[in-house]
Amino acid sequence: MILCRKLDIRDNIDCLYQWFDKCPPQGKLKHWKDGRSAKETAKYWLHTIPSEFKELLKPLNLNYMICSPEFISKFDNYGGNDRNHDLLIISEKKTKEKVVISIESKVDEEFGDTVSKTIIEANKRIHRNPNSKGLLRIEDLRKTLFGCEKDDQLPIRYQLLTAIAGTLAEAKQQGSKTAIFIVQTFVSSEINNKKHFENQNDLNRFLNLISESKFPEIKDGDLLGPVRIPGNNEYISCNIDLFIGKYSIQI
């Protein structure tokens, strides 16, 4: 598998220095620390593919071709932040059909604000700038991923919505009929167990909702799906099979 910047195989990443120089995390040095998700991802993926990842996807028998850290996928025309994949992997089935894999790395960092809080903040921005498109973005995401806007979506972590939207959008961009979103968690004695437990609950709540209760929870080593979303637009297709997986790496 070729590790490179922006899926450009001519722009290889060969060491930790190049990883940080070419594909720094959003928080730059603030987030580049031993024991935290950005740097641990680099350390575990730089020269090999983690066994936990390979075991999770073993049933699909994929050929892993290209991997890019901090890859950005556009999923709508509203501006603002696009989906920042911690890792984006382009792989192939034996039939040569592409499969897009997005990895979200965590230690005990939460999945961002809730949908409810994100709506409140978007309303504040509208008061400062009437041209702000934040509320429209949230509305469209909810309708695309869930088919409508309902109160049970309000406690969901908004980052999970943008993560799935970006994964599906990149799959469509790459001409893939299969999109896989994986939460990779690094576990050590330093982890905040309360935050780790809350992340698990947040992921379960989201999975239960997007699968219409077909998959009420996910455990380490699970790859669940396929799930089809109801929405269809310029960036996201309702005809893509979505799988959601999870594994942990002890550090």
Give dist(CA 123, CA 138) in Å, integer. 11
What's the start-to-end Cα distance of the chain, in Å?
Answer: 23
Q: Residue 29: CB partners within 8 Å, gap ≥ 6?
A: none
pTM value surpassing 0.75: yes
* pLDDT tens string 217-226: 999 999 999 9
* pLDDT tens string 82-141: 999 999 999 999 999 999 999 999 998 999 999 999 999 999 999 999 889 999 999 999
How many other C-beta atoms can be found within 10 angstroms of the C-beta atom of residue 158? 21
Report whether pLDDT(23) > 90.
yes
* pLDDT tens string 57-98: 999 999 999 999 999 999 999 987 899 999 999 999 999 999
Q: Are the C-beta atoms of residues 92 and 65 closer than 8 Å to each other?
A: yes
